[in-house]
């Protein structure tokens, strides 16, 4: 089973999964929060936040990666503080790849969640209030279950984006085997060296398997969530 | 249970005033209906009582407590929405137990109270279903059940029957009334259907454009509307209005006819007045009869039990409701004779004129 891929190739697959799952998990709570702020909030600067969140969708990924390098690099204003105060380093680490992927996938996650918040009937939340629920309860017991399909969709998009992210990752954390070399960068590297075609093909297959698996898993989850509401 | 008192309450959305100074007193255990045309602010006022809309100025009290700044969850109310607002991801039983679950009531107690309410509403066989598996009428009952289980001080209903068909609406009207007689919980009920208001309310509050036009028992509003708006709004088919000028011997109409008045209104001769007469208070007389309104038959609508007649008269349409069947034909010239002591007079501002 394991000799289907070489150890280096396995490392790329494992790293890609780790990076994508980390990126997805880390952006989940902020994503839901931002989606709520943008959908329900009435505050100064809402428009600016909206633009900021959507920038990674419209900017070339290389530009996003370079901005991350400037900001979160070892000498960057944010990177240096994080490294000195908390010992958190992003530059040329897998955590940096996860950060790049999280940011690239963030607008997709926010959009999906936001769409589902928009469809929530506010009367359902109002009713909960009149039945004695405080806002936290209303969110947990009413709103969250209702937007679950949107959250699942957002998570899949975020995961898929992370699995395919190339430009921002390679610009920000380079292409270090075992540390920052994810599936796409590994495939790219293999296509650049003589005799790498077979490896590239194997990794391509692995990538297809993972993507299809993610899609099926999300379909299954979404169907479970939806079955209780509609069907 | 509690009384509800609304004192000079106002509400603006942005710069638009929607509630423009409303005073209403609701007694403990009373069934009060807010009625008025679409957009007059009924739902807004109800949502202010519920705490779902904040109050621009004025006071709302529930019991002895001013609740202006009390969040909905602490007002001890339960609201039933027009759309029912049932939780699609919860069963009927879970929906009904919602308020108890929040209070941390024990599972057995929750079950007992849900079953009790379900039995009284005929919902027992449906407890394990999801809302999407219910008919509109059943959903409506679940929404009421959820409110009943909360056992609040005040029930608030916002047009709970308007999504039901006519027949179901009539039977639910009876059930809600019966429920109120059993529980005796103070109830504020919003509708734009004046028949619902007439048949269910202890007291009706007629609203128009963000103000209260009149408050009173249903038949008081019917018999003594305070102004032309209430007169035209309460009653179906609606009251007829005819313009005329006060003369010594009665009211001079456009057609030249003179209608005798039962009593001399306390206003000067030659004042322009509006004469209001309900469709059931007009009788048919042969054309040319003195002291009647000349009219031409325009539409005849027999319903079986009675006949609605629409006639052209005084430059407009008048409605006549006849208890007996009639042999009139389209285009026939007739005369309308008002039943004595049934007319209402309004001044140019639309206020009722007291008879002297
Ligand atoms: N959130 C809001 N923002 C701005 N205007 C509002 C808002 N809610 C209601 N209004 C306005 O306030 C007025 C009263 O609305 P309300 O819903 O209270 O009317 P209503 O009497 O319940 O009418 P209906 O019988 O159609 O339900 C309307 O003109 C409406 O447009
Ligand atoms: Mg309304």
pLDDT tens digits, one per residue of A40-75: 998 999 999 999 999 999 999 999 999 999 999 988
pTM of the predicted protein model: 0.86
Whether B231 and B225 have beta carbons less than 8 Å apart is answered as yes
Atom 18 of ligand 1 has which residue's CA nearest to it? B41
What is the overall mean pLDDT for chain A? Answer: 92
Phi, psi of B227 (to 5 degrees): -155, 175
pLDDT digits 0-9 by tens, B138-154: 999 999 999 999 999 99
Locate the domains of chain A by residue range.
Answer: 7-230
Name the closest ligand to CA B40.
Answer: 1
Query: Do the chains contact at B89 and A231, CB–CB below 8 Å?
Result: no
How far apart, in Å, are the Cα atoms of A37 and each of A33, A53, A122, A144?
6, 12, 15, 15
Q: How far apart are CA B186 and CA B209, in angstroms?
A: 25
Using pLDDT thresholds of 50, 70 and 90, give the confidence band for residue A2.
Answer: low
Query: Do the chains contact at B78 and A134, CB–CB below 8 Å?
Result: no
Tokens of A82: 């994080």
B4-233 under CATH 3.40.50.300, yes or no = yes
Architecture of the domain spanning A7-230: Orthogonal Bundle (1.10)
pLDDT on residue A231: 40
pLDDT on residue B280: 95
Facing B79 at nearest CB: one of A127, A145, A231: A127
Average pLDDT value for residue range B225-248 = 94
Whether A209 and A43 have beta carbons less than 8 Å apart is answered as no
Q: Is the pLDDT of residue A3 over 80?
A: no
Q: How far apart are CA A230 and CA A132, in angstroms?
A: 26
Q: Is the pLDDT of residue B325 over 90?
A: no
Question: Percentage of chain A with pLDDT > 70?
Answer: 97
Query: Do the chains contact at A123 and B88, CB–CB below 8 Å?
Result: no
Using pLDDT thresholds of 50, 70 and 90, give the confidence band for residue B22.
Answer: very high
Measured torsion, CA atoms of residues B146, B148, B154, B159, in degrees rounded to the nearest 10: 60
Using pLDDT thresholds of 50, 70 and 90, give the confidence band for residue A130.
Answer: very high
Atom 31 of ligand 1 has which residue's CA nearest to it? B39
The side-by-side arrangement of strands in the sheet containing B16-26 is: B16-26, B4-13, B57-62, B65-66
Q: Is the pLDDT of residue A230 over 60?
A: no
Atom 2 of ligand 1 has which residue's CA nearest to it? B13
Q: How far separated are the first and last CA of chain B, in Å rounded?
A: 43
Residue of A nearest to B97 (CA): A131
Whether B207 and B41 have beta carbons less than 8 Å apart is answered as yes
Contacts of B62 (CB under 8 A, 6+ apart): B2, B3, B4, B49, B75, B76, B77, B153, B154
Tokens of B251: 């009211």
**Which residues of chain A are within 8 Å of residue B163 when distances are taken between CB atoms?**
none
CB under 8 A, 24+ apart: contacts of B178-185? B179/B120, B179/B144, B179/B148, B180/B31, B182/B120, B183/B148, B184/B1, B184/B29, B185/B1, B185/B29, B185/B152, B185/B153, B185/B154, B185/B155
Using pLDDT thresholds of 50, 70 and 90, give the confidence band for residue A227.
Answer: low
Whether B99 and B150 have beta carbons less than 8 Å apart is answered as yes
What is the overall mean pLDDT for chain B? Answer: 93
Locate the domains of chain B by residue range.
Answer: 4-233, 241-355
ipTM of the complex: 0.82
What does the H/E/C string look like for chain B?
CCCEEEEEEEEEECCEEEEEEEEEEECCCCEEEEECCCCCCHHHHHHHHHCCCCCCEEEEEECCEECCCCCHHHCCEEEECCCCCCCCCCCHHHHHHHHHHHHCCCHHHHHHHHHHHHHHHCCHHHCCCCHHHCCHHHHHHHHHHHHHHHCCCEEEEECCCCCCCHHHHHHHHHHHHHHHHHHCCEEEEEECCHHHHHHHCCEEEEEECCEEEEEECHHHHHHCCCEHHHHHHCCCCCCEEEEEEEECCEEEECCCCEECCCCCECCCCCCEEEEEECHHHEEEEECCCCCCEEEEEEEEEECCCCEEEEEEECCEEEEEEECCCCCCCCCCEEEEEECCCCCEEECCCCEECCEC
Q: Which atom of ligand 1 is nearest to the CA of B41?
A: 18
Ligand 1 centroid to B233 CA: how many Å?
Answer: 19
Contacts of B200 (CB under 8 A, 6+ apart): B31, B33, B173, B176, B177, B189
Using pLDDT thresholds of 50, 70 and 90, give the confidence band for residue B356.
Answer: very low
Ligand 2 centroid to B151 CA: how many Å?
Answer: 24
Is the CB of B240 within 6 Å of ligand 1?
A: no
Q: How far separated are the first and last CA of chain A, in Å rounded?
A: 40
- B241-355 in CATH: which number? 2.40.50.140
Measured torsion, CA atoms of residues B19, B23, B28, B33, in degrees rounded to the nearest 10: -50
Give residue ranges of A with CB < 8 Å to any B CB. 121, 123-124, 126-134, 137, 142, 145-146, 228-231
Is the CB of B191 within 6 Å of ligand 1?
A: no
Q: Is the pLDDT of residue A95 over 60?
A: yes
Partner A contacted by B219 (CB < 8 A)? no
Whether B339 and B220 have beta carbons less than 8 Å apart is answered as no
pLDDT digits 0-9 by tens, A162-216: 999 999 999 999 999 989 999 999 999 999 999 889 999 999 999 999 999 998 9
pLDDT digits 0-9 by tens, B29-54: 999 999 999 999 999 999 999 999 99
pLDDT on residue B292: 93
Atom 8 of ligand 1 has which residue's CA nearest to it? B44
Pocket-testing residue among B10, B17, B43, ligand 1, by greatest number of atoms within 8 A of Cβ: B43
Pocket-testing residue among B16, B18, B162, B196, ligand 1, by greatest number of atoms within 8 A of Cβ: B18
pLDDT on residue A229: 58
pLDDT on residue A20: 96
Higher pLDDT, B295 or A227: B295
Tokens of B261: 């008045």
pLDDT digits 0-9 by tens, B188-212: 999 988 899 999 999 999 999 999 9
Q: Is the pLDDT of residue A12 over 80?
A: yes
Q: Which atom of ligand 1 is nearest to the CA of B13?
A: 4
Name the residue with tokens 């509003």.
B221
Q: Is the pLDDT of residue B355 over 70?
A: no
Ligand 2 centroid to B214 CA: how many Å?
Answer: 19
Strand duo B31-35 + B203-208: pairing: parallel
Query: Do the chains contact at A131 and B85, CB–CB below 8 Å?
Result: no
Using pLDDT thresholds of 50, 70 and 90, give the confidence band for residue B242.
Answer: very high
Contacts of B261 (CB under 8 A, 6+ apart): B250, B251, B343, B345
Question: Percentage of chain B with pLDDT > 70?
Answer: 99
């Amino acid at each position: 089973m394991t000799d289907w891929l070489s150890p280096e190739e396995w490392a790329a697959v494992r790293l890609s999964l780790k990076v994508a799952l980390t990126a997805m998990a880390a952006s989940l709570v902020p994503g839901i929060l931002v989606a709520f702020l943008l959908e329900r909030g009435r505050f100064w600067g809402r428009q600016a936040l909206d633009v900021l969140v959507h920038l990674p969708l419209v900017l070339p990924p290389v530009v996003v990666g370079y901005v991350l390098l400037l900001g979160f690099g070892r000498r960057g204003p944010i990177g240096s503080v994080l490294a000195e105060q908390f010992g958190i380093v992003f530059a040329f680490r897998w955590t940096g790849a996860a950060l790049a992927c999280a940011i690239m996938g963030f607008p997709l996650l926010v959009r999906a969640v936001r769409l589902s918040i928009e469809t929530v009937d506010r009367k359902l939340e109002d009713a909960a209030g009149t039945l004695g629920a405080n806002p936290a309860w209303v969110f947990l017991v009413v709103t969250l279950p209702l937007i679950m399909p949107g959250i699942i969709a957002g998570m899949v998009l975020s995961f898929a984006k992370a699995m395919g992210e190339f430009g921002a990752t390679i610009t920000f954390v380079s292409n270090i085997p075992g540390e920052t070399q994810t599936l796409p960068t590994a495939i790219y590297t293999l296509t650049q060296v003589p005799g790498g075609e077979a490896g590239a093909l194997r990794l391509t297959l692995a990538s297809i398997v993972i993507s299809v698996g993610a899609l099926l898993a999300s379909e299954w989850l979404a169907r479970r969530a939806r079955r209780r509401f509609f069907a | 249970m509690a009384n509800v008192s609304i004192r000079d309450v106002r509400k603006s959305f942005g710069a638009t005033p929607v509630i423009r100074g409303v005073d209403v007193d609701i007694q403990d255990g009373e069934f009060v209906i807010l009625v008025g045309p679409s957009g007059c602010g009924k739902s807004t006022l109800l949502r202010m009582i519920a705490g779902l809309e904040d109050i621009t100025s004025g006071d709302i009290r529930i019991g002895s407590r001013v609740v202006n700044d009390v969040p909905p969850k602490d007002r001890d109310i339960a609201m039933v929405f027009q759309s029912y607002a049932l939780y699609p991801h919860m069963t009927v039983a879970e929906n009904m137990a919602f308020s108890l679950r929040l209070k941390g009531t024990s599972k057995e107690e929750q079950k007992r109270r849900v079953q009790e309410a379900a039995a009284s509403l005929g919902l027992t066989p449906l407890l394990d279903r999801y809302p999407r598996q219910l008919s509109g009428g059943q959903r409506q009952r679940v929404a009421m059940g959820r409110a009943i289980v909360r056992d609040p001080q005040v029930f608030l209903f916002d047009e709970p029957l308007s999504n039901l068909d006519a027949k179901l609406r009539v039977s639910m009207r009876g059930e809600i009334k019966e429920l109120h007689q059993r529980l005796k919980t103070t109830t504020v009920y919003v509708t734009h259907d004046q028949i619902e208001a007439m048949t269910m309310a202890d007291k009706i509050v007629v609203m128009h454009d963000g103000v209260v036009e009149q408050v009173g028992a249903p038949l008081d509003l019917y018999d003594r509307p305070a102004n032309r708006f209430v007169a035209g709004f309460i009653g179906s088919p609606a009251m007829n209005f005819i313009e005329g000028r006060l003369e010594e011997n009665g009211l001079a109409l456009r057609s030249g006819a003179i209608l005798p008045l039962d009593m001399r209104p306390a206003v000067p001769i030659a004042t322009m007045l509006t004469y209001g007469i309900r469709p059931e208070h007009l009788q048919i007389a042969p054309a040319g009869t003195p002291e009647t309104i000349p009219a031409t038959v325009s539409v005849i609508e027999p319903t079986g039990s009675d006949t609605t007649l629409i006639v052209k008269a005084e430059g407009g349409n008048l409605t006549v409701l006849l208890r007996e069947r009639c042999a009139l034909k389209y285009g026939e010239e007739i005369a309308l004779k008002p039943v004595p002591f049934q007319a209402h007079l309004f001044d140019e501002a639309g206020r009722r004129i007291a008879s002297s």
